[in-house]
Structure 1
Amino acid sequence: MKKVYPAIFEKDPVGFGIYFPDVEGAVTQAETIPEGLEMASDALGIMLSDLIEKGYSLPEPSEINDLTINRETEFATLIPVELNDYLKDAKLDKKTIKIPHWLNVRATNEKINFSKTMADALEEKLNI
Protein backbone atom coordinates (compact mmCIF):
# COMPACT_ATOMS: atom_id res chain seq x y z
CA MET A 1 0.00 0.00 0.00
CA LYS A 2 1.45 3.30 -1.10
CA LYS A 3 1.27 6.39 1.11
CA VAL A 4 2.43 9.94 0.41
CA TYR A 5 3.21 12.58 3.04
CA PRO A 6 4.73 16.04 2.84
CA ALA A 7 8.24 16.47 4.20
CA ILE A 8 10.19 19.61 5.00
CA PHE A 9 13.85 19.78 4.02
CA GLU A 10 15.76 22.30 6.12
CA LYS A 11 19.20 23.42 4.95
CA ASP A 12 21.89 22.99 7.60
CA PRO A 13 25.72 23.20 7.63
CA VAL A 14 26.19 19.57 6.50
CA GLY A 15 23.24 19.17 4.12
CA PHE A 16 19.60 18.84 5.07
CA GLY A 17 17.56 17.97 8.12
CA ILE A 18 14.30 16.35 7.05
CA TYR A 19 11.09 15.97 9.01
CA PHE A 20 7.43 15.16 8.47
CA PRO A 21 5.03 17.60 10.13
CA ASP A 22 2.29 14.95 10.32
CA VAL A 23 4.33 11.95 11.51
CA GLU A 24 5.91 12.38 14.92
CA GLY A 25 9.39 10.87 15.09
CA ALA A 26 9.86 10.58 11.32
CA VAL A 27 13.10 12.55 10.95
CA THR A 28 16.33 12.02 9.09
CA GLN A 29 19.20 13.90 7.50
CA ALA A 30 21.20 13.80 4.28
CA GLU A 31 24.04 15.56 2.53
CA THR A 32 22.23 15.94 -0.81
CA ILE A 33 18.66 16.24 -2.02
CA PRO A 34 18.66 12.88 -3.89
CA GLU A 35 20.02 11.15 -0.79
CA GLY A 36 17.45 13.04 1.30
CA LEU A 37 14.55 11.82 -0.82
CA GLU A 38 15.67 8.23 -0.28
CA MET A 39 16.34 8.69 3.43
CA ALA A 40 13.00 10.46 3.92
CA SER A 41 11.07 7.63 2.27
CA ASP A 42 12.85 5.13 4.52
CA ALA A 43 12.16 7.14 7.70
CA LEU A 44 8.51 7.50 6.70
CA GLY A 45 8.16 3.78 5.99
CA ILE A 46 9.66 2.82 9.34
CA MET A 47 7.42 5.17 11.35
CA LEU A 48 4.16 4.45 9.50
CA SER A 49 4.64 0.68 9.60
CA ASP A 50 5.36 0.91 13.34
CA LEU A 51 2.06 2.79 13.85
CA ILE A 52 0.15 0.15 11.86
CA GLU A 53 1.76 -2.77 13.67
CA LYS A 54 0.93 -1.18 17.04
CA GLY A 55 -2.73 -0.77 15.99
CA TYR A 56 -2.77 3.02 15.60
CA SER A 57 -4.51 4.92 12.81
CA LEU A 58 -2.26 6.73 10.38
CA PRO A 59 -2.25 10.52 10.61
CA GLU A 60 -3.96 12.44 7.83
CA PRO A 61 -1.35 14.03 5.53
CA SER A 62 -1.40 17.83 5.38
CA GLU A 63 -1.89 19.63 2.11
CA ILE A 64 1.60 20.58 0.99
CA ASN A 65 0.50 24.14 0.14
CA ASP A 66 -0.84 24.62 3.68
CA LEU A 67 2.59 24.11 5.28
CA THR A 68 4.43 27.10 6.67
CA ILE A 69 8.11 27.14 5.73
CA ASN A 70 10.99 29.59 5.72
CA ARG A 71 11.59 29.93 1.97
CA GLU A 72 15.20 31.01 2.52
CA THR A 73 16.25 27.83 4.32
CA GLU A 74 13.47 25.26 3.75
CA PHE A 75 11.41 23.62 1.05
CA ALA A 76 8.52 21.14 1.19
CA THR A 77 8.08 18.13 -1.05
CA LEU A 78 5.94 15.01 -1.18
CA ILE A 79 7.53 11.72 -0.20
CA PRO A 80 6.00 8.40 -1.33
CA VAL A 81 6.55 5.09 0.44
CA GLU A 82 5.41 1.54 -0.27
CA LEU A 83 4.44 0.32 3.21
CA ASN A 84 4.37 -3.36 2.26
CA ASP A 85 8.17 -3.10 2.04
CA TYR A 86 8.26 -2.19 5.75
CA LEU A 87 5.47 -4.23 7.33
CA LYS A 88 6.79 -7.34 9.05
CA ASP A 89 3.89 -9.60 8.13
CA ALA A 90 2.77 -8.61 4.64
CA LYS A 91 1.95 -12.14 3.47
CA LEU A 92 -1.52 -12.62 2.02
CA ASP A 93 -4.26 -14.47 3.95
CA LYS A 94 -7.12 -16.20 2.16
CA LYS A 95 -10.62 -15.15 3.30
CA THR A 96 -14.02 -16.38 2.19
CA ILE A 97 -16.76 -13.77 1.95
CA LYS A 98 -20.38 -13.80 0.91
CA ILE A 99 -21.99 -11.06 -1.17
CA PRO A 100 -25.34 -10.84 -2.95
CA HIS A 101 -25.40 -12.69 -6.29
CA TRP A 102 -26.42 -9.60 -8.28
CA LEU A 103 -23.44 -7.71 -6.85
CA ASN A 104 -21.08 -10.56 -7.71
CA VAL A 105 -22.38 -10.68 -11.31
CA ARG A 106 -22.03 -6.93 -11.78
CA ALA A 107 -18.55 -6.77 -10.22
CA THR A 108 -17.37 -9.77 -12.25
CA ASN A 109 -18.67 -8.17 -15.46
CA GLU A 110 -16.71 -5.02 -14.59
CA LYS A 111 -13.59 -7.17 -13.97
CA ILE A 112 -13.23 -5.87 -10.41
CA ASN A 113 -10.45 -7.47 -8.39
CA PHE A 114 -12.26 -8.69 -5.25
CA SER A 115 -9.11 -9.12 -3.17
CA LYS A 116 -7.81 -5.63 -3.92
CA THR A 117 -11.25 -4.11 -3.36
CA MET A 118 -11.59 -5.83 0.03
CA ALA A 119 -8.06 -4.83 1.07
CA ASP A 120 -8.68 -1.22 0.01
CA ALA A 121 -12.00 -1.15 1.90
CA LEU A 122 -10.42 -2.57 5.07
CA GLU A 123 -7.55 -0.06 4.92
CA GLU A 124 -10.07 2.76 4.58
CA LYS A 125 -12.26 1.40 7.39
CA LEU A 126 -9.21 1.05 9.68
CA ASN A 127 -7.86 4.48 8.66
CA ILE A 128 -4.60 3.01 7.37
Structure 2
Amino acid sequence: MIKIYPAVFEKDPVGFGIYFPDVEGAVTQGDSIEEGLEMASDALGIQLAWYVEQQLPLPTASNMNDLSIDKGTQFATLVQVNLIDYLQDTQPDKKTIKIPHWLNVRATKEGINFSKTMTEALMEKLKI
Protein backbone atom coordinates (compact mmCIF):
# COMPACT_ATOMS: atom_id res chain seq x y z
CA MET A 1 0.00 0.00 0.00
CA ILE A 2 2.04 2.91 -1.34
CA LYS A 3 1.30 6.37 0.09
CA ILE A 4 2.82 9.62 -1.16
CA TYR A 5 2.89 12.94 0.70
CA PRO A 6 4.73 16.23 0.17
CA ALA A 7 7.60 16.93 2.57
CA VAL A 8 9.34 20.21 3.29
CA PHE A 9 13.12 20.11 3.68
CA GLU A 10 14.61 23.07 5.54
CA LYS A 11 18.36 23.73 5.47
CA ASP A 12 19.86 24.09 8.94
CA PRO A 13 23.45 24.24 10.28
CA VAL A 14 23.82 20.44 10.45
CA GLY A 15 21.83 19.33 7.40
CA PHE A 16 18.08 19.36 6.85
CA GLY A 17 15.04 19.40 9.09
CA ILE A 18 12.10 17.66 7.43
CA TYR A 19 8.39 17.81 8.10
CA PHE A 20 5.15 16.80 6.42
CA PRO A 21 2.59 19.64 6.41
CA ASP A 22 -0.31 17.17 6.19
CA VAL A 23 0.88 14.53 8.68
CA GLU A 24 1.09 15.84 12.22
CA GLY A 25 3.97 14.26 14.11
CA ALA A 26 5.92 13.16 11.04
CA VAL A 27 9.18 15.08 11.48
CA THR A 28 12.81 14.06 11.12
CA GLN A 29 16.21 15.28 9.99
CA GLY A 30 19.12 14.21 7.83
CA ASP A 31 22.71 15.24 7.24
CA SER A 32 22.22 15.18 3.46
CA ILE A 33 19.33 15.15 1.01
CA GLU A 34 19.83 11.40 0.43
CA GLU A 35 19.76 10.61 4.15
CA GLY A 36 16.88 13.04 4.59
CA LEU A 37 14.77 11.24 1.98
CA GLU A 38 15.40 7.90 3.69
CA MET A 39 14.61 9.31 7.13
CA ALA A 40 11.53 11.11 5.78
CA SER A 41 10.11 7.91 4.32
CA ASP A 42 10.66 6.16 7.64
CA ALA A 43 9.05 8.97 9.66
CA LEU A 44 6.08 9.01 7.28
CA GLY A 45 5.63 5.23 7.53
CA ILE A 46 5.73 5.24 11.32
CA GLN A 47 3.22 8.07 11.63
CA LEU A 48 0.78 6.76 9.01
CA ALA A 49 0.87 3.30 10.59
CA TRP A 50 -0.03 4.94 13.90
CA TYR A 51 -3.06 6.55 12.24
CA VAL A 52 -4.20 3.18 10.87
CA GLU A 53 -3.63 1.36 14.17
CA GLN A 54 -5.59 4.08 16.03
CA GLN A 55 -8.39 3.70 13.46
CA LEU A 56 -8.00 7.32 12.35
CA PRO A 57 -8.43 8.36 8.72
CA LEU A 58 -5.25 9.06 6.83
CA PRO A 59 -4.71 12.76 6.14
CA THR A 60 -5.33 14.06 2.65
CA ALA A 61 -2.12 14.96 0.86
CA SER A 62 -1.79 18.59 -0.22
CA ASN A 63 -0.94 19.61 -3.73
CA MET A 64 2.77 20.49 -3.70
CA ASN A 65 2.08 23.66 -5.67
CA ASP A 66 -0.14 24.90 -2.82
CA LEU A 67 2.60 24.67 -0.17
CA SER A 68 4.01 27.90 1.17
CA ILE A 69 7.79 27.65 1.51
CA ASP A 70 10.76 29.99 1.89
CA LYS A 71 12.64 29.37 -1.36
CA GLY A 72 15.85 30.64 0.25
CA THR A 73 16.02 27.91 2.89
CA GLN A 74 13.37 25.32 2.00
CA PHE A 75 12.28 23.05 -0.81
CA ALA A 76 9.36 20.64 -1.14
CA THR A 77 9.44 17.16 -2.59
CA LEU A 78 7.22 14.09 -2.66
CA VAL A 79 8.08 11.19 -0.37
CA GLN A 80 6.62 7.72 -0.79
CA VAL A 81 6.32 4.86 1.66
CA ASN A 82 4.95 1.33 1.53
CA LEU A 83 2.69 1.39 4.57
CA ILE A 84 2.58 -2.42 4.77
CA ASP A 85 6.22 -2.33 5.94
CA TYR A 86 5.16 -0.37 9.04
CA LEU A 87 1.92 -2.00 10.13
CA GLN A 88 2.35 -4.27 13.14
CA ASP A 89 -0.18 -7.03 12.49
CA THR A 90 -0.11 -8.00 8.83
CA GLN A 91 -0.77 -11.72 9.26
CA PRO A 92 -3.71 -12.65 7.02
CA ASP A 93 -7.01 -13.68 8.60
CA LYS A 94 -9.11 -16.28 6.82
CA LYS A 95 -12.60 -15.06 5.89
CA THR A 96 -15.43 -16.87 4.17
CA ILE A 97 -17.52 -14.74 1.85
CA LYS A 98 -20.46 -15.36 -0.43
CA ILE A 99 -20.76 -13.87 -3.89
CA PRO A 100 -23.18 -14.64 -6.74
CA HIS A 101 -22.26 -17.77 -8.69
CA TRP A 102 -22.13 -15.95 -12.03
CA LEU A 103 -19.64 -13.45 -10.57
CA ASN A 104 -17.47 -16.23 -9.15
CA VAL A 105 -17.39 -18.01 -12.53
CA ARG A 106 -16.43 -14.87 -14.41
CA ALA A 107 -13.79 -13.76 -11.89
CA THR A 108 -12.25 -17.24 -11.78
CA LYS A 109 -12.03 -17.33 -15.59
CA GLU A 110 -10.23 -13.97 -15.49
CA GLY A 111 -7.74 -15.28 -12.90
CA ILE A 112 -8.70 -12.70 -10.28
CA ASN A 113 -7.09 -13.16 -6.86
CA PHE A 114 -10.06 -12.95 -4.47
CA SER A 115 -7.98 -12.24 -1.35
CA LYS A 116 -6.09 -9.42 -3.02
CA THR A 117 -9.28 -7.95 -4.48
CA MET A 118 -11.07 -8.06 -1.13
CA THR A 119 -8.08 -6.45 0.64
CA GLU A 120 -7.95 -3.65 -1.93
CA ALA A 121 -11.72 -3.09 -1.74
CA LEU A 122 -11.67 -2.92 2.07
CA MET A 123 -8.75 -0.50 2.07
CA GLU A 124 -10.57 1.71 -0.42
CA LYS A 125 -13.80 1.53 1.57
CA LEU A 126 -11.96 2.41 4.80
CA LYS A 127 -9.93 5.14 3.03
CA ILE A 128 -6.61 3.59 4.03
Name the TM-score class by shorter chain.
over 0.9
Partner AA of 1:36 in structure 2: G
Structure 1 gap segments, 5+ residues each? none
Q: 1:22 maps to what in 2?
A: 22
Q: 1:115 maps to what in 2?
A: 115
Query: Deviation per CA, 1:3-37, whole angstroms, max 9, x where unpaired?
Result: 11111111111111100011001000111000001
Query: Deviation per CA, 1:55-86, whole angstroms, max 9, x where unpaired?
Result: 11111111222222222211111111111211
Which of 17-26 and 101-110 deviates more?
A: 101-110
Query: Deviation per CA, 1:102-127, whole angstroms, max 9, x where unpaired?
Result: 11122222222211111111111111
Compared with structure 1, are the counterparts of its residues 80 and 98 closer, same or farther at alpha carbon in structure 2 (3 Å cutoff)? same
Q: How far 1:88 moved relative to its partner?
A: 1.0
Q: 2:124 maps to what in 1?
A: 124
- How many residue pairs match? The answer is 128
Between the aligned partners of 2:76 and 2:117, the Cα distance in structure 1 is 32
- Give aligned-pair identity as a percent: 70
- RMSD, aligned α-carbons: 1.1
Q: 2:12 maps to what in 1?
A: 12
SS at match of 1:84: helix
Q: 1:70 maps to what in 2?
A: 70
SS at match of 1:36: helix
After superposing on structure 2, the runs of 4+ consecutive aligned residues of structure 1 that deviate more than 4 Å are: none
Q: 2:83 maps to what in 1?
A: 83
Compared with structure 1, are the counterparts of its residues 108 and 42 closer, same or farther at alpha carbon in structure 2 (3 Å cutoff)? same
Between the aligned partners of 2:97 and 2:67, the Cα distance in structure 1 is 43
Which of 42-51 and 105-114 deviates more?
A: 105-114
SS at match of 1:43: helix
Partner AA of 2:52 in structure 1: I
TM-score normalised by the chain length of structure 1: 0.94
